[in-house]
């Protein structure tokens, strides 16, 4: 790991892995923490000394997503896209996917991956110890 944002009480750490930011969500995320996360990610992208290739948000530790958190995730993807950065949502549980569909949330601007390793591959970064993934033509 090449960087780490200082963790303040009531915040979620944003880790810098080279040119990719990694955010791991665990348990229930209170609305104020989710809103702060959106600001922290945008700030980390904008102030990074090198261009940020992508943001990986690992939600494998999240059991419940409400409409507010779903909207925040979509807004993070939209903000990152405006800052020329892709966002990949990794580790979504089936129950969370079903809930998002039931709520009518489509999460525009977000790409999904089954786990963090696949998310890194989507961004053109190889997981530790693996060769880099080849991009398909037209991707």
Would the pLDDT of 128 be above 70?
Answer: no
Q: Tell me, what's the pLDDT at 108?
A: 84
Of the chain, the percentage scoring pLDDT greater than 70 comes to 83
Q: How many domains does the chain have?
A: 1
Order of strands across the sheet that contains 14-17: 3-4, 14-17, 20-26, 54-61, 86-90, 110-113
Provide the 8-state DSSP code for 50: S
Q: Is 135 part of a structural domain of the chain?
A: no
Q: Tell me, what's the pLDDT at 8?
A: 53
Q: Tell me, what's the pLDDT at 9?
A: 55
Mean pLDDT across 121-139: 58
Q: Tell me, what's the pLDDT at 29?
A: 85
What are residue 135's phi and psi, to 5 degrees? Answer: -80, 140
Q: Is 50 part of a structural domain of the chain?
A: yes
SS3 of residue 103 by DSSP: helix
Q: Residue 94 is part of a domain; what is its CATH number?
A: 3.30.750.24
Range of the domain at 110: 3-122
Q: Is 139 part of a structural domain of the chain?
A: no
Q: Is 18 part of a structural domain of the chain?
A: yes
Q: Tell me, what's the pLDDT at 74?
A: 94
Q: Is 86 part of a structural domain of the chain?
A: yes
The chain-wide mean pLDDT, for the chain, equals 85
What are the residues facing 23 on neighbouring strands? 14, 57
Q: Tell me, what's the pLDDT at 5?
A: 46
Q: Is 113 part of a structural domain of the chain?
A: yes
Q: Is 133 part of a structural domain of the chain?
A: no
Round to whole Å and give the CA distance between 103 and 115: 23
Q: Tell me, what's the pLDDT at 11?
A: 81
Q: Is 130 part of a structural domain of the chain?
A: no
């Amino acid at each position: 790991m090449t960087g780490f944002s200082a963790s303040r009480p009531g915040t979620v750490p944003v880790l810098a892995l080279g040119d990719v930011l990694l955010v791991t969500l665990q348990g229930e995320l209170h609305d104020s923490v989710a809103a702060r996360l959106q600001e922290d990610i945008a700030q980390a992208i904008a102030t990074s000394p090198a261009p940020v290739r992508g943001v990986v948000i690992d939600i494998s530790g999240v059991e419940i997503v409400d409409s507010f958190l779903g909207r925040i995730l979509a807004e993070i993807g939209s903000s990152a896209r405006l800052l020329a950065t892709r966002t990949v949502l990794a580790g979504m549980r089936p129950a969370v996917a079903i809930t998002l569909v039931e709520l009518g949330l489509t999460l525009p601007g977000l790409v999904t991956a089954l786990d963090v390793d696949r998310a890194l591959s989507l961004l053109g970064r190889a997981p530790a110890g693996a060769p880099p993934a080849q991009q398909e033509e037209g991707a």
